[in-house]
Amino acid sequence: MNIPRTRGSVRVGRERPHNDKLPAGDWALGIENPEIAALVGQFVAAIVHVEEHLAIFYGRLILLPSRSDDVARQAFRSMRMAESKIQAMRAVLQNSHVHAEKPAIFDEVIDRYEKINAKRNEYAHALWYTHESGRVFKTKVTTDALRFDEMNRQEVTQNQLGQDLRNLAALSAKIQEAIAWEDPRPIAHGKRRIQW
């Protein structure tokens, strides 16, 4: 078979592969299963509240006193992209002498948030489909038109979403634990602990 080419690349109009692993039958666009829709909605809505607590966590990293939580929120909210928030938190935690003795929970909070945010993006920006059986599938949006979305559909179950919500609750608990942590030997802002 001769595949038409344009400037060395395959044309978009070529025949698309079929995914034999998907169930046969009718498909609806979006999430038509109310239980799945409710869980996705809970997850996306809950992460915003977790980020409110994360703003206070960020305030502790930049050494703001607890009475300055509003300032911490404003600074944290001014970073629009989650990646910027993650980079800022990591930079302050890993590159500042005042945080040298912070427990591993601080790193764990940032790592967990990074994973949860990736899941939020996955859910918020996916193309959703519902099979006539009520099973729900999602596809990652891609700029590669040759990767037909049918080939990349993955089922999303209530169990998976329940686990995602439990992971979100665990992250919230870790954030609260980190916020409550008190350095037994606090260092004044702008000072360094040097041992000879």
Q: What is the dihedral of CA 103, 107, 109, 110, to 10 degrees?
A: 160
Can you tell me which residue has the tokens 């006539």? 132
Query: Which one has a higher pLDDT value, 3 or 63?
Result: 63
pTM: 0.80
Asked if 148 and 129 touch (Cβ cutoff 8 Å), the reply is no
Q: What phi and psi values does residue 190 have, to the nearest 5 degrees? A: 90, -5
How does pLDDT run across 71-104, given as a tens digit for each residue?
999 999 999 999 999 999 999 999 988 888 889 9
- Average pLDDT on 57-67 reads 88
Looking at residue 40, its pLDDT comes to 97
Contact status, residue 128 vs residue 28, Cβ threshold 8 Å: no
pLDDT band with cut points at 50, 70 and 90 for residue 68: confident
Please enumerate in sequence order all residues whose Cβ is within 8 A of that of 107, keeping only pairs 6 or more positions apart, or say none: 93
159: which 2 tokens?
């169990």
Say if residue 106's pLDDT is above 90: yes
Structure tokens at 40: 């996705």
CA–CA separation, 119 and 138 (whole Å):
12
Q: How many CB atoms lie within 10 A of CB 175?
A: 24
- Model pLDDT, residue 2: 45
